[in-house]
Amino acid sequence: MSTTPVTQTTSEGWFRSLGQRGKRAFVGAFGGYGLDSYDYWILPLSLVAITSFFGISKGQAGLLNTATLVLSALGGAVAGVLADRIGRVKTLLITVITYAVFTVLCGFATSYEMLLVFRGLQGLGFGGEWAAGAILVAEYSKPEYRGRAVAFIQSAWAVGWGLAVLVYTLVFSFVSADMAWRVMFWTGALPAVLILYIRRTVQDAPGTVEQREKSSRGFSAIFKGGLGRTTFFAALLATGVQGGYYTLATWLPTYLKTERGLTVINSTGYYAFLISGAFIGYVCGGFITDRLGRKKTFALFAVLSAILIMLYTQIPVGANTVVLFLGFPLGFCASAIFSGFGSFLAELYPTDVRGTGQGFTYNFGRAVGALFPAGVGFMAESMGVGGAMVFGAAAYGIAVLALLGLPETVGRELT
């Protein structure tokens, strides 16, 4: 007969197990990632207006997002090293301030080139925030709950996405398109409120500082010995998953407007299905990765996401109702696959290089995966946005192959 306490079997047990300090860390990391998502989504949602304002091509428009994702690799690598050197919380603060400042500056851009630079620099903070926040919560979590605890941090992405769509709908309904995209970027100052909360209440997990100081290794350590193999395949996994996801994220708003003929108001329902599916996917994915295992969960949702992207973008004109309802499973699968990343990457690396390893691999995947939405932008000139988006489905095949070189880590204690 099991002697497990009742609280350990309830769905809320993972949150209770964090303790008071862990709960505060969870709120800080959740808020940081949610607002990170909000600032990210401003560009895809405003992309049609920006393209028209500066008179740029679809390829140049795609390059705006690619610049963000490429520089996020540098931001993630730097933030990972900082997290191992100065702590998770201080690094979290630095990254939130960085992405907030450059998001606001995007609203003041007077040329395409200036916007490209500011958006790229925003990527430095965008890339680093997730690594610091996910590790912080992972180190407070018990092994049996780690997948779902960090998955709830991932679910903040859907919350930020939903908030961005709500603000986008309001702003573009009452402000001319030429000014509305600027107003959207200016609202990127929202994280300033979160900074105060993190500074006053959030601390690194007990014992992790001492562990890092006892064995402090440099950036090169993640490329040596057994860790080198781990880093290669983890980066490949991140490349595949994020190549597929950011193809969808970058071009979905443009696809709905230009190929499905939807206005700002009419597209709101489509986003509602996608975002609600995404939120539930993030949450359910966490429970699934704890029950099914990290690798099987990645493989399952990679295959389903690839199939759903192809279906979603190839539905004939006039069948918009099918597109509407298909948004829920698409949002679910494309998001659920991310739920295992925080726990999986944390379990693959020891404490003293956990920030470095997780920050580098996840954001290297963002940078290389960014080639997919850029490629879609250039192919869309001849194939149409919907036709070109199928290219993103191929990225998920890379993710499945990467799993062959990685171990299963479910239940592993952090060392």
> 38 pLDDT band (50/70/90 cuts)?
very high
Q: How far from the centroid of its chain's Cα atoms is residue 14's Cα?
A: 22
Residue 214 has pLDDT above 80, yes or no: no
Q: Which residue is listed with tokens 């070189």? A: 405
Tell me the whole-structure pTM to 2 decimals.
0.77
Residue 181 has pLDDT above 50, yes or no: yes
Work out the percent of the chain whose per-residue pLDDT is above 70: 94
* 177 within 8 A of 257, measured Cβ to Cβ: no
Q: What does the alpha-carbon distance between residue 10 and residue 17 come to, in Å, rounded to a whole number?
A: 11
> 257 pLDDT band (50/70/90 cuts)?
confident
Helix or strand (DSSP H, E) at 219: none
> 9 pLDDT band (50/70/90 cuts)?
very low
Q: Which residue has the higher pLDDT, 368 or 332?
A: 332
Cβ-based neighbours of 48, under 8 Å, separated by 6 or more: 253, 254, 257, 258
The model's pLDDT over 54-89, given as tens digits with 9 standing for 90+, comes to 999 888 888 888 888 788 888 888 888 888 888 889
Residue 324: closest CA among 392, 391, 262, 386: 262
The model's pLDDT over 372-405, given as tens digits with 9 standing for 90+, comes to 877 888 888 878 888 788 888 889 999 999 999 9
What's the pLDDT at 75?
A: 87
Q: Average pLDDT in the 253-280 region?
A: 82
Q: Residue 385 corresponds to which amino acid? A: V
What's the pLDDT at 8?
A: 43
- What residue ranges do the domains of the chain occupy? 19-204+221-405
Residue range 19-204+221-405, CATH number: 1.20.1250.20
Average pLDDT over all residues of the chain = 86
What's the pLDDT at 168?
A: 94
State how far the alpha carbon of 115 is from the alpha carbons of 68, 183, 409, in Å.
11, 14, 42
What's the pLDDT at 1?
A: 35
| Coil vs helix vs strand at 260 | coil
Compute the residue count for the chain: 415
